Amino acid sequence: MDLDDKLAILSPAARFDACDRFLGKRRATPRTVLWDDRAVAADTDNAGRALPVFRLLLSNRCEWNCAYCPLRSGNDIPRAALTPDELARVFLPRVERGAVQGLLLSTGVDGNPAVATGRMLDAVEMLRTRYGYSGYVHLKLLPGAPAAEIERAARLANRISLNLEAPTAAHLARISPERDWLRDLIAPLALARDWSRTGAIGAGLATQFVVGAAGESDRDLLVTTTWLYRDLALRRVYFGAFRPVTGTPLESRPPTPFVREQRLREADWLLRRYGFEQQELPYDPDGNLPLHLDPKLAWALAHPERFPVELNRADRDELLRVPGLGPVSVARILRLRREGRFRYPDHLAALGGALARARDFITLDGRFFGRNERDRLRHYARRSPIAEQLTLW
């Protein structure tokens, strides 16, 4: 199998590793370069900046039989693996011409976790030592990676991640019974955390959940997410909507709506950037977030006693609770307040589209220019009948 054929297999397979967004072009391309369009995604470097990375599997051979995974050993698909030299031949020219600024490398369980992880680290070590590559590398460790390989990864990579896939041991057992929650997932993450605290792994730790594969609720996911941030010092938690794959035990299960993935990302943002506590999030009786409204707006509609807030007096935390206002617009408001008072909606022209949503939840020098509570609920109920449930939360 030549190198282009290997890449045509391995690069599309890496798309199941979630990133912030895809950066590849969305146009039809010849088969020989189709994998290249799927290979570029966004990741976050040591300084928190988004950068384009080359996303690739070193091998799609796997000894495990996870129920959701297209790479499972029981699935009859083309298999391929790259040598360290082949990875260098693929990756470094793209760095040199500025097409990418880093590498996101993962692998299937090709042999066993220790062997497969070691092979992946050998490839990165070759990039660092033989070829002098000093740029960004994000390594996805395998469950059950041994302590020595975690130490080695910490010395080679800017970011390390290990995919939990499910939020609890019980949920994991439904989709990946070969993995032990504590031994194979949490213990390696704790070791990586300890290395991160020494100053290694500058871009931090991350993980990923397959949303909807194990029958978990959004509350299940976000409770574990909060714990991961607090106790294991993760920098990011990613959410990937489950897609059924032919040849797997879950092939007849309906796909998870992408909007659910989006709502979880928004809720995660509220936890990390807006000062929300997990238990404040607007879950329905089944523990799920509303799909028709973003969670911040849903929370605000369910808490009319908190609004409106006076834009000229509210502190930063109060303003961050206002739908339509984010950290950038709040910082702008606080700066402009030092120059004068906001009295009319046109005084907020600098906020752009944020004003359309925010005006229902603020007063300007004591005057309210938005809709009352009943009209607000009617407005969002017209968008979706589910919005009528907001009065019950």
Whole-angstrom distance, CA of residue 133 vs CA of residue 233: 28
Domains and CATH numbers, the chain: 3-256 (3.20.20.70), 295-392 (no CATH)
Burial of 90 (0-12, 13-18, 19+ CB in 10 A): buried
The size of the chain, in residues, is 393
Residue 134: how many CA atoms within 13 Å on its side-chain side? Answer: 1
Is the pLDDT reported for residue 214 higher than 70? yes
Coil vs helix vs strand at 309: strand
Coil vs helix vs strand at 225: helix
What backbone torsions phi and psi does residue 129 show, to the nearest 5 degrees?
Answer: -95, -55
Average pLDDT over residues 195-221: 96
Give 250-257's long-range contacts (Cβ < 8 A, gap of 24+): 250/67, 250/68, 250/175, 250/213, 253/213, 255/212, 256/211, 256/212, 256/213, 257/291
Q: pLDDT tens across 159-182, in order?
A: 999 999 999 999 999 999 999 999
Average pLDDT over residues 255-273: 96
The dihedral region occupied by 34, where left means phi > 0, alpha psi between -120 and 50, and beta the remainder, is alpha
Whole-angstrom distance, CA of residue 313 vs CA of residue 341: 10
pTM of the model: 0.88
At residue 348, the pLDDT reads 79
Q: pLDDT tens across 53-92, in order?
A: 999 999 999 999 999 888 898 888 899 999 999 999 999 9
Whole-angstrom distance, CA of residue 376 vs CA of residue 246: 44
- Contact call for residues 221 and 239 (beta carbons, < 8 A): yes
